[in-house]
Amino acid sequence: IVFARKIRSFLCTKESLLTTHIKSFTIQPFLKLLFDNLKIFLIIHS
């Protein structure tokens, strides 16, 4: 029972690390794209 609980908590931490990693991976390029578009917009309208 204790062993199974350890495995479950280990899998949970692995899963949470994976999801945060995926989130940061999907958010970062989006933010970069947004920032680049903003720079282009400012250059055009300045």
The DSSP secondary-structure symbol of 26 reads H
Looking at residue 2, what is its pLDDT? 82
Q: What is the pLDDT of residue 37?
A: 92
Could you report the per-residue pLDDT of 1-46, keeping only the tens digit for each? Answer: 788 888 888 888 888 888 887 777 787 888 899 999 999 999 888 7
Q: In whole angstroms, what is the distance from residue 46 CA to residue 39 CA?
A: 10
Residue 27, both tokens: 């958010």
DSSP H helical ranges for 1-46: 2-45
Query: Which pTM value belongs to this model?
Result: 0.45
